[in-house]
Structure 1
Amino acid sequence: MFGTFRGEKFLKLEFLISAILLMSALVFSFESKKYKIDSTIEKNYEQLVVFKDLCAKLGKSGGSQTEILDVITGLNTLKEGDFVLKGDVELTLASAYVKLGDTQKAKDILGYLAGNGDDTITRADAVMTLAMRYINNEKSPSAAIAILEKYRSYFKGYRTDEYYLTLALQYNDVGNPVTAAQYISLASYIPENYTELYKRLTTLNWANYTRENKLKIIAMFYRLGLLKDATDLIGQYIAEFNPHPKEAETLLLELVTQTTKPYVADLLDRLAKNPQYQTVAEEMKPFLSDSAGNLQSDSAKVRGAYYYGLLSGLSGIKSYNSSLAMQYYSKFLEGDIDLDYAKKNLTLAIRNLLAYKKYADITNITMQTYRKLGIENGPDGIEKGISFWNGYSLYRYGKYDLALKEFEKSIAARPDDYFAENAKEYIQKVLKEQKLSLEEYLSRLEYLYITVTDANRKLFYAKVLFAFRNGYGKEILREKIIDLISKQSYNPIYTYTDDLIRAFQMNANYTKFVIYMRIGFEDKAKAILSSAGINDPLVQQFFILREYISYRNFDYAASFMWEETRDSSLNDNFAFLPKDLRMLYYPQPYDGEVQMALSRIINDQIDKNLIYAIIRAESLYMPQARSYVGAKGLMQLMPATANWMSASLLGKKDVDLYDTGLNILLGTAYLSDNIKAYGYISAIAAYNSGYSIIKKTKERYSPDNELILMEIIPYKETRDYIIKILRNYYRYSDIYESEPLKVKSPPVKAII
């Protein structure tokens, strides 16, 4: 027994040593490759700068022979050396010869690269350039078609839409509209200048498309604003396939919510004569008039869209109406309800009720909605804001156990969000009323998380616990949550792991990827990711953002940062992403300037994370940012505001607002003055839209606190801005593990 034990112990030790050696080898291998990449870039740095300049000079050249010859000489010099991007040099050289008029040399270079380029990207570029040469200069669409068809395998994931559109145009020109229509229908994006061609070809070839393609074409017609033509195609589609009334309803609902033109009424009248679609057609007709008559429909989606239109009218500083909101929403609840419209309509109704402090009505309609959707006893809410405001209303009436459940739902929906942070605060208020400590509450949650067998409830409790935990315990929960989510459904964002990063960094084309990123060839960088099997657009975005942030190229990173604010899937799962990825989206690139501003502006309601939250929302970290109204720099200051702050703080005017240090100092001072004058949330709103709308909302509705004030501000842009700033702030606090500020706001007593 003793010998066996020693043997097992020895094997475990041996395995551990092997694992350490393997990891060390991988780290050494990557560090060696990183050194090689850095050395390659350093070695080629001057040539890369020269190449980029030559490309720019060729692009701007007006055709001067001397300029073009200079470019050709420079490119030939790069070609003859051991420059790392020789294929790209040859492509550019071909373009230069075209401009010079030496078309044969250009064709020879392109023909060679098409079959013998260094990689698929270079070969695809050569083929497309050669095809465009045949089209524009030799007026030979047949030659263009031949070479594009020959090398079609090059265009999988790279210049794909361009490939389809070019072939469609050329087949159309040679009198083959059927093949042209097949190619144009494959494109996922149709540029404006192709709209008429797309319309003509797809309409002409309609009979030859599959049912799936026809639905895709109708959707594209909507996207292109071809509503009259979409109406005609919907009529043809229904006549041809006799789809289920629910499918017809979906198609028609999209139409009637976009246009009320007479041609829509004509289609509905025709469909009403068909017994199969009579009900569907009749339930759409109220959308075509402003009649306030009752909607006659059993369809959840149709009814949802109809009452959404009515509730949307109850907005604006003088338009909130709690009685009408209750009337419309109660009518909405009388039939079947659709989850998406329940979310939209209940949010609008709650906003009206908050304006008039109708907390009991909020709880009443929310609980009715839960029952209608069959979720009154489950862990899922409808939407994080709805759960929070229902919890808040229940708390006001002393229904603490029910309030606690609603606040937990708000947290579980998105644990690092504005509503989640406020829900955490109110949970602690509930616990105080119940004479329970936070530790006791979390212990109970942990017990439920460990013992519950239902996967949805386990994930729910894990997310709530995650929001309260810090340090190592939080990281363990993060891994557990990702595992639970992955078991329920595939989400490609969780494939972005250290293993994937290391595998790509060891890819033969990784050096080229980095170089393409450094010189701004983003499409080619994406093509390299695709060739490495990294095809998901969001995961590609992670890799590209990583490179931009590594060398502080915020001008190029900005579009990816902006996308993060709009992608609900990314936002809902953001808290569970690896820390280094979250830091890419929320960097701290101006620490010296921020610390200097904080040392000058003394205000315990401002910290580093709040300044970065404003910078992210206002300029996405771009020092040279300028808005269409003239706001400048990182914190987007108007010159008049900056002059006023600068005269007070620095004793001078007309400072350079593109100076990062000055912009942050003056922006911080302006924010500080607003907080002192108006309060925390009001100051954030005023930073975006001025104080006038805040003042009017306070005077008209006298909200109980700033949370309600934020929710009932009638301007969606201002509401969204406040939520964005505070979400940014809480994410910064979480990522960099700093305690959020204790915002000073008056406590709210329960109504008992």
Structure 2
Amino acid sequence: MKNARFALIALFVVSSCFTRPGEDGIRSALGFHHSPEQVIKTLESADKSSREHFMLAVAYGKKDNRKKALFHFANSCFSSHYDLNLKLFPGPVYSFVTGFRFKSDYYNDAVAEIAEIFFNFREFEYSVKFADLVRKDDPGLYRDAILLKSRALSELNRHEDAMKTLADLADDLDDPGSRSLIKVRTASLYEKKSETAEALKAYLDALKIKDSGWQSGIAVKNSLKIAEKSGEAFSAEDALLLGKAAFNNALFSESADMLKKALTELKEESARADAVHFLIRAYVKGTKIPEADSAVQQYRGAKLPESDLQKTKANELWNSRNKTAAVAVYQGLVDKLTGAAHQEVLKRLAQHMAEKQPAGFEKYIIEYKTKYSEDPQCDFLLWMLGKSAMKRKDQAAATAYFEEGAAKYPQGIYTDNMRFWLYKIYEGAGKKAEKDKKFRELVVIHPDSAYTWTLMHRKQGEFSADSLSADFKAGLQQDDREAYLFAHTMLVILQKDFAERDRRAKSLPSRDLAEYTKLEKSVEKLTLSSSYKNQLLRLKKYFEAGYSDGITRELNMIPDDKEAQYDKNVVLAHFGSRYAHPYHGIFSTLELMKHHGISESFALMPLSTLRRICPVDFLECIDKTAGEFKIDRNMILAVIKAESLFNPRAVSPAGAEGLMQLMPATAKGVARELKMQEYELKDPCTSIRFGTHHLAWLDKMFKGNFDYMVSGYNAGSGNVRVWQRDISTEDADYFAEFIPFQETRYYIFNTRKFLYQYLIINK
């Protein structure tokens, strides 16, 4: 194993400057990416520190082997003291963990887990004692331990002590989720004591703190049960509260009942309006459209205009993905509304027409972009108008729409699409100057665009390093930013030499590099400014052990405010790249870029930033599999990034799993071909092998055509055959652009981009 590890590290050093974490990440990778069985097999025979004991305890816990978990949790408590003959009874374990020794980083977690194990063994007195050992350093862990303590006290019929424990905990925590949960637990204690009025009050208090999330779902259901059994009546205000919370928890029938009750008594106008709008929404979400229409008619009036209520109904239809029904309502409303309401409705009509393109669809689009041209999302409408013109071969109209979009929204979300197709149109028309101008704009303004990468890869052979170097120097001398950035970027694409890139970058004005440098220094030095700094830094221990549950639990305690979220992303980017969790490294770095207002530029980002957003993790498995199935390493890396952002535990809404996101049916077929009866798709090497086998099959089917291969991987080979038949073109870009599946369109262009990036990285 050791020889394989050193061979792997040597391979990284020889093959690429993009080295991966060494010793720091080896244990982390085991915890993050491998099964409990593999963790146990690897660590039971290894030398163990507190970290290895903690990892083994977690693994045995997942296997439901509580005695083994207890043994290793206890032995993870101290930095250098272990008792391999520890008797696994409450008293000896408690004596051991309360000994006067240097505590490890895992002490808090270990005693909290031991408290839960003894709770499950019904040793409630000891569960309380172990929970009392948990410090407040990790707020999520502390909260869960004290909640467990309150349950243990309740089991001991010490209900008043349990109540006081929860009240004290509420004083220690200020996040709404925790405070709501404490109220729900308090209510359950009152129910045990048959104090239903107090229980009901506590459940309603929970909803006043937070009326969405799983805690609120419990509060709603239990409140309704108590009221039904006890005959307790809700006030109008409480009925409104319950109705809204029920709606937020998809209890639409219950929501409507409560809201109707509230409306029989509510007098205050704003509260009545709130109840009426939620009632209509509840009927729509519950697919009771006639009842929604009746509510509109019943409650309309001077204070609640019918047009406003119809808009609420249409909005909920839209949000429920019943856009056809929503559009029918919007069309009847649009001329009756003014101001922001008119803009919102007209925008949705324009967007829907742009996507569906029925006869005469241009009317709403043109009206919207004319009346509300200040809305940057008009670039999407111009893109769709131009795309429609391209499809009907009206290049003049397409050019006009795209040029308008590029001029009015130079850095819009869809402006790179428009510049790319303007390039293609001008190329077809033989207009070299116009074509070259669009290419330069793409490179300088949209360096992160998949369209830009497509052209840079294709056109690199048209340039020489000498001429680009001369252009770079001349651009700097003349302070022509477009000239020097274009030349610098194309030199990176052409030379694929990061040392030369960094030497050249020293000549760039500081304004071009300042935000990239600031971001990277924050990540490298862990520069944090929020009050959650210490809490976030303590995540290090979980990254070292590959303990995702601990990371998730503590991150859930971080509020959504800008400063705290920035610090969160700094910490995740740093620890993710250092401790073998590339997904956190990629995602958090991209989030930080948004904060800094910068784009993903291969020419300007520090090398360490590039390493994070283009990782080469799992390379031993990738290279072995690439050789087995004759698929290029860079293609495998590109597909992994496109599919899962290097997250082996990823599960899509459709049920695809693992690094390469195979659907269970596809995986079953691959396993049959590979003669494997048992497999785990969340195992990195298994996912890579299965995914690459599937790519090899697609490679054979589509004779090496990359776009067809990846579109088949994303949408199925049958769909690709249909598109080949229906989209009559020799132009690969046109084929990709006019595929009817939006996800697959993006997938082709993005996977191209990632492939071209890895070709540079793995030169």
TM-score bucket (shorter structure)? 0.5 to 0.7
Task: Indicate yes or no: 2:165 matched with 1:147.
Answer: yes
Quote the Cα distance in structure 1 between the aligned partners of 2:592 and 2:161.
43
Contact 2:460 2:490 in 1 (8 A): no
Select which of 690, 701, 720 maps to 1:694: 720
Q: Does 1:312 align with 2:355?
A: yes
1:389 CA displacement: 3.0
What are the Cα deviations for residues 322-366 of structure 1, in whole angstroms up to 9, with x where unaligned?
Answer: x64545534544543673653554444444444333332223334
Is 1:113–2:133 an aligned residue pair? yes
CA deviation digits over 1:215-238, x for unaligned, max 9?
x99799567575995996999999
Moved more, 524-533 or 168-177: 524-533
Distance 2:163 2:457 in 1: 65
1:356–1:526 CA distance, 2 compared to 1 (3 A) = same
The AA in structure 2 aligned to 1:693 is N
Residues 59, 549 of structure 1: CA spacing in aligned structure 2 closer, same or farther, 3 A cutoff? Answer: farther
Change (3 A) 1:355 1:431: farther
Cα 1:389–1:206 shift into 2, 3 Å: farther
Q: Write the distance in 2 (CA, Å) between the matches of 1:668 and 1:161.
A: 44
Once residues 750 and 409 of structure 2 are traced to their aligned partners in structure 1, the CA distance between those partners, rounded to angstroms, is 31
Mapped to 2, the partners of 1:477 and 1:220 lie a distance apart of 57
Aligned pair partner of 2:526 in 500, 521, 527: 500
Shift of the alpha carbon at 1:680? 2.7
Structure 1 counterpart of 2:111, which letter?
E
Distance 1:100 1:596 in 2: 46
**CA displacement at 1:534 relative to structure 2:** 11
Deviation at 1:712, TM superposition (A): 0.7
Aligned counterpart for 1:722 among listed residues 739, 745, 748: 748
Number of equivalent positions: 643
Q: Name the structure 1 match of 2:120.
A: 99
1:419 aligns with 2:473: no
Question: 1:590-622, CA deviations, whole angstroms, 9 ceiling, x for partnerless residues?
Answer: 4455456666777xxx74322211233346557
Q: State the SS of the aligned residue for 2:616.
A: coil
- Partners of 1:237 and 1:416 lie apart in 2 by 55
Residue 191 of structure 1 aligns with an amino acid whose one-letter code is W
Distance between the aligned counterparts of 1:241 and 1:86, measured in 2? 50
Question: 2:214 aligned with 1:191, yes or no?
Answer: yes
Q: How does 1:145-294 map to 2 (within 5 A)?
A: 145-152=163-170, 154-156=172-174, 161-168=177-184, 170-171=186-187, 173=190, 175=197, 180-187=203-210, 190-191=213-214, 194=217, 197=220, 221=247, 224=250, 226=252, 229=255, 239-240=269-270, 261-266=289-294, 268-269=296-297, 273-274=301-302, 277=305, 280=308, 288=326, 290=328
CA distance in 1, matches of 2:425, 2:297: 47
Partner of 1:130: 149
Q: Which secondary structure state, in structure 1, belongs to the residue aligned with residue 642 of structure 2?
A: helix
Aligned-partner SS, 2:615: coil
* Selected match of 2:636 from 594, 608, 611: 611
The offset of 1:305, in angstroms, is 0.7
Higher relative contact order (CA 8 A, sep 6+): 2
1:471-515 per-residue CA deviation (whole Å, 9 max, x = no partner) reads 1245876963464699xxxxx9677332226999xx998996443
What do the CA deviations read for 1:265-290 (whole angstroms, capped 9, x no partner)? 45655786438856656777886574
Give the deviation of 1:301 after TM superposition.
1.8
Find the residue that maps to 1:339 and give its secondary structure. coil
Partner Cα distance (1:638, 1:57) in 2: 25
Which residue number corresponds to residue 616 of structure 2?
588
Answer whether contact 2:660 2:688 (CA < 8 A) is retained. Answer: no
Give 1:636-655 correspondences, 5 Å limit.
Answer: 636=662, 638=667, 640=669
- Mapped partners of 1:408, 1:271: distance in 2: 58
Do the aligned residues in 2 keep the contact of 1:601 with 1:669 (CA within 8 Å)? Answer: yes
Q: What is the distance in 1 between the residues matched to 2:249 and 2:397? A: 39
- The residue aligned with 2:400 is 364
| TM-score after normalising by structure 2 | 0.64
For 2:521 and 2:267, locate their aligned partners in 1 and report how far apart those are by CA, in whole Å.
39
Identity, % of aligned positions: 12
Query: Quick one: distance in 1 between partners of 2:309 and 2:181?
Result: 37
Q: Secondary structure at the match of 1:676?
A: coil
Report the alpha carbon displacement of residue 710 of structure 1 after superposing the two structures with TM: 0.6
Note the residue ranges of structure 2 that are not aligned, 5 or more in a row. 1-21, 29-46, 71-85, 225-232, 315-324, 493-500
Residue 705 of structure 1, aligned match among 728, 731, 738: 731
Aligned to 1:48: 54
3-state SS of 1:580 partner: helix
Answer yes or no: is the 8 Å Cα contact 1:596–1:665 preserved in 2.
no
Cα gap change, 1:428/1:518 in structure 2, threshold over 3 Å: closer, same or farther?
Answer: closer
Change in 2 beyond 3 A, CA 1:87/1:412: same
Distance 1:336 1:399, change over 3 A: farther
Question: What CA distance in whole angstroms lies between the structure 2 residues aligned with 1:410 and 1:270?
Answer: 56
C-alpha contact (below 8 Å) 2:711/2:720 kept by paired residues: yes
Alpha-carbon distance, 1:145 to partner = 4.3
Find the partner of 2:700 among 673, 680, 693: 673
Q: Alpha carbons of 1:93 and 1:702: their partners in 2 closer, same or farther (altered >3 Å)? A: closer
Counterpart among 324, 339, 342 of residue 378 in structure 2: 342
Partner of 2:420: 388
The AA in structure 2 aligned to 1:313 is K
In structure 1, what is the equivalent of residue 31 of structure 2? Answer: none
What amino acid maps onto 2:746 in structure 1?
D
For residues 386 and 168 of structure 1, the distance between their equivalents in structure 2, rounded to whole angstroms, comes to 53
User: Taking structure 1 as the reference length, what is the TM-score of the superposition?
Assistant: 0.65
* Contact preservation (8 Å) 1:517, 1:544: no
* Shift in Å, 1:138: 3.3
